[in-house]
Structure 1
Amino acid sequence: MASTPDRKDSHLALALEREVEFPDRDATGFGALRFDHDALPELDLDEVDASTTLLGKRLAAPLLVGAMTGGTPRAGEMNRRLATAAARCGVGFALGSQRKMLTDPAARSTYAARDVAPGLPLVLGNLGAVQLNRGVGVPELRALVAAVGADALMIHLNPLQEAIQPGGDTCFSGLLARLRAVAPEVGVPVLLKEVGCGISEPTARKIAELPVAGVETAGLGGTSWSRIESLRTDDPVKQGVGERFARWGIPTAESVAICRRALPDRVVIASGGIRSGIEIAKAIALGADAAAVALPILRAAERSVDAAIQEIARLVEELRTAMFLTGARTVAELRARPLRRARDLTALSQGSDR
């Protein structure tokens, strides 16, 4: 079994160097949806305000740098760059899994985003749900949150990844009861996050019965953790299964709509293959409160902090332009803009963004 540092660094290397996204550019479902273009928007572009409040924190735009990494020196450097970029742009920042901190307190420095970027408006901690079946309880969750100054905690759901991962932990039974017990006691809002297969209607109904603040959908169409784990294993059977299931899941656009229907009064964060501000706008119109973007910002941060800032700025400016062209002065107004079931030709250009 690979050690946690080996696994984290191999995940980073594969995400940065290999083709790990869904091969169909429109697997997310956003390309089949189109806004009505408003040639008379009755507002100036300068009036468009993309700021919003998420989990009680004010963001410059409904955007988070999505959960990615931590736990190794290389991962720590990437987190420092990502956190710095997020703080300068006034958007949220989600940490990768903090599992390493459970056994190695010294690993905290690789996750300590606020140490290098105290101006971050929102930081989300992160741990796998399966750890609740491995002795992790409220004291450990509280400690993880406190160690990084997190404003909320994401508990991620990744059964497919664990099924393919060498040495993966697939003991997912009993988690509903454990989530029900620990979520109200963590001391900060708890969200459940799927990592690339999306949240289906049956799952959303289960989550609706839990005392959690909301979800991150992370639907099909972006980075495939099944593919990443298939690239890491030497087992030819696991390799084949991982490649087959790289296409498994709920497209992001569909999952966002499902989650909003099932969780009408809770936070819904859209992620999974979101690669443009137009797609962020569509996610908002489908019911998301915000969107999270990971891989494009990670690849930009590999070059420099400035490149990551530029990538975030591009996403936000595309979002503001979409708002202007639909006559939406605020994010609240954007939520009311209808989407048509019609091909959006701007989706055809997204290959360069991915």
Structure 2
Amino acid sequence: MQINDKSETKEYLANSQRYDAMTYNRTGKSGILLPALSLGLWHNFGFVDSIQNARNVLRCAFDLGITHFDLANNYGPPYGSAEENFGTILKKDFKNYRDELFIASKAGYDMWPGPYGNFGSRKYLISSLDQSLKRMGLDYVDIFYHHRPDPDTPLEETMGALADIVRQGKALYVGISNYQPKETQEAAQILKHLNVPFILHQARYSMFDRWVENGLLNTLEDNGVGCIAFSPLAQGMLTDKYLKGIPKDSRAAKDLTFLNVETVNSTIEKVTKLNAIAENRNQKLSQMALAWILRQPQVASVLIGASSTNQLKENVKALDNLQFSKEELDLIDKIVS
């Protein structure tokens, strides 16, 4: 997709102070530091969206010190379009900053028809990354993830494909996503034996979804692997969006797969109580929710989505107050349990 605007010929010059305010955390025991908040391109970057808005958000993110952009093969819609749009913007604005960026892609979910366009076979993973690199106009990604476990493909095959991807120079590091603790431990052992830099596990984590605390974070720590959290705002429930009802243009009103009216109504009492704590901290609920995840030492970064530069700037303000008192944490536990 082409960028058609008056600023098309104007060269983008990044903010010279972009690294001054952002917090960077070490990823497990690796040499990589990630920004405390990273930008996910799951929504708002496909062909159905405004590429100029996407461009503005990416520029704003980098100007704020966000160096990590997270993509996957099927982000869009349609599938592949987020990577293609990102590639267009990368070529236009970020070509001179490539070595300052940490770019991720993934494969594991449905991507193309037939038996080789899904899950975790060597055929799928290598073919998918080749397609992703072509869409983005890159020689390599900084990290490539297996997006979800495949119960029918031997883990040795999937991890072996990740190892070969690194050896081929198509990715510098590898990661996994949505793996349970036992599967994570097994993957870590295989990758260690193969001498492959396994540095990140991308996991769903929020105040309303704390499964990672039941063994996964400890497993990651034991293996020197960092955690990067996605869906930290529980698809918008951990914001002030639904405090006064369900807006007609919201995800819940549209009854999307991950969020619906019933889910919002069943949590609104908890959201109201959590919002009161946030107000006492001089934060928005969304900012407190992001800070709450970053309290975990294993969490290197939290993935945020953004539909506008204002929303992005608002989320980054979460870093202004990352400290929690024991009383606050106890009260949050009581509310969400």
Tell me the TM-score range normalised by the shorter chain.
0.5 to 0.7
| Amino acid in the other structure paired with 2:124 | V
Q: Tell me what 1:17 maps to.
A: none
SS of alignment partner, residue 282 of structure 1: helix
| 1:52 is the counterpart of 2:25 | yes
Q: Tell me what 1:66 maps to.
A: 40
Answer whether contact 2:21 2:64 (CA < 8 A) is retained: no
| 1:261 is the counterpart of 2:218 | yes
> Which runs of 5 or more residues in structure 1 are unaligned?
1-46, 160-170, 223-250, 327-337, 349-354
Deviations 1:189-222 (Å, cap 9, x if unpaired)?
A: 111123xxxx543343334334232201114777
1 or 2 for the larger relative contact order (CA 8 Å, sep ≥6)?
A: 1
> Which runs of 5 or more residues in structure 2 are unaligned?
1-19, 110-117, 167-171, 192-197, 239-285
283 and 72 in structure 1: CA distance in 2 versus 1, 3 angstrom threshold = closer
Structure 2 CA distance for aligned equivalents of residues 100 and 341 of structure 1:
35
Answer whether contact 1:126 1:154 (CA < 8 A) is retained: yes
Q: Which has the higher helix share?
A: 1
Q: Tell me what 2:175 maps to.
A: 191
Which of 309, 330, 336 lines up with 1:342 in the alignment?
330
Matches within 5 A, 1:221-236: none
SS of alignment partner, residue 174 of structure 1: coil
Q: Tell me what 1:273 maps to.
A: 232
Give the aligned CA root-mean-square deviation in angstroms: 4.2
178 and 92 in structure 1: CA distance in 2 versus 1, 3 angstrom threshold = farther
Structure 2 CA distance for aligned equivalents of residues 270 and 262 of structure 1:
15
| 1:136 is the counterpart of 2:107 | no
Q: CA deviation at 1:255?
A: 0.5
Structure 1 CA distance for aligned equivalents of residues 102 and 228 of structure 2:
14
Q: Tell me what 1:312 maps to.
A: 312
153 and 219 in structure 1: CA distance in 2 versus 1, 3 angstrom threshold = same
Which of 294, 301, 308 lines up with 1:291 in the alignment?
301
**Percent of counterpart pairs with the same letter?**
11
Normalised by the size of structure 2, how large is the TM-score?
0.54
| Amino acid in the other structure paired with 1:138 | I
Q: Tell me what 2:90 maps to.
A: 114
Answer whether contact 1:68 1:96 (CA < 8 A) is retained: yes
SS of alignment partner, residue 38 of structure 2: strand
| Amino acid in the other structure paired with 2:226 | V
Q: Tell me what 2:14 maps to.
A: none
Q: Tell me what 2:107 maps to.
A: 127
Structure 2 CA distance for aligned equivalents of residues 340 and 72 of structure 1:
39
Deviations 1:5-55 (Å, cap 9, x if unpaired)?
A: xxxxxxxxxxxxxxxxxxxxxxxxxxxxxxxxxxxxxxxxxx987233557
SS of alignment partner, residue 73 of structure 1: coil
| Amino acid in the other structure paired with 1:201 | P
100 and 220 in structure 1: CA distance in 2 versus 1, 3 angstrom threshold = closer
Answer whether contact 2:295 2:322 (CA < 8 A) is retained: no
Q: CA deviation at 1:182?
A: 1.2
| Amino acid in the other structure paired with 2:319 | L
